[in-house]
Amino acid sequence: MTVNLAPSPGSSLKPEAQNVSALKQVFQTIDADSCPGSYNFHLHTINSDGRSQSEQVIEQAIAIGLKGLAITDHHSTKGYEQAQIWLDNWKLNHPDHNSTAPTLWTGAEINAELLNNEVHILGYAFDPEHPSLRPYLRGKSTEGSDNYPAARVIKSIQEAGGLAVLAHPCRYRSTADQLIPEAARFGIDGVETYYAYNNPNPWKASPKQTVLVKELAEIYGLLGTCGTDSHGLSLLVRI
């Protein structure tokens, strides 16, 4: 399936990084082979708990040949902002290669409470200046406040025009078949279907967990995503 990343008429005034309709199309094509060579929607920089500079992330994404990615630092969009500036400059200096440049969407990873678990919710393609996200993009968790429940986080991401995705749903105290239905009840858009839970090198989505999460996503009509959750110097592995 060919994905059209051009802005739709309704999103023509929004930057490419907030093109949520194009991102939905991409998520609908994601499979076990998409990550880490074609797409990567879970990456960290020094702006949270990663080791890579933002500029290194986007430069490496170009070298790998990624079609699209999102930097998902914890409670921060500084990594995205820095990478976007670098990417814009790269496009100006390489006009003949603009068609092969990856699409960089806005992203962040936000802590939330779901069934008495602290879970992580990934936000994508949102407006980082939207008032609803101010409590969540200050570099720290909102634990203990009215903004901490997952329902509130999901709603805030969507109010900012973005998609909300439950990160690594098999990594919590409660099971995926408990958490995903509850997240779906609160209107979550998707789940991180393809994730490597035992940090293999080379990266490969964990087969057993992938089957479970994919089945649940289909039952509840959720989008599926993938990402290496990179915290190190390589986008191809987690650490």
* Architecture of the domain whose range is 9-226: Alpha-Beta Barrel (3.20)
Question: 24 φ, ψ to 5°?
Answer: -60, -40
Q: Where are the domains of the chain?
A: 9-226
Burial readout 139-174 (b: 16 or more C-beta within 10 A, e: otherwise): eebbeeeebbebbbbbebbbebbbbbbbbbbbebee
Could you tell me whether strands 163-166 and 190-194 are parallel, antiparallel, or unpaired per DSSP bridges? parallel
Q: Which of 71, 65, 69, 70 is nearest to 100 (CA)?
A: 65
Amino acid at 174: S
User: What's the pLDDT tens digit per position in 16-56?
Assistant: 999 999 999 999 999 999 999 999 999 999 999 999 999 99
User: What's the pLDDT tens digit per position in 159-209?
Assistant: 999 999 999 999 999 999 999 999 999 999 999 999 999 999 999 999 999
Measured distance CA(80)–CA(107) in Å, rounded: 7
Position 52 scores a pLDDT of: 98
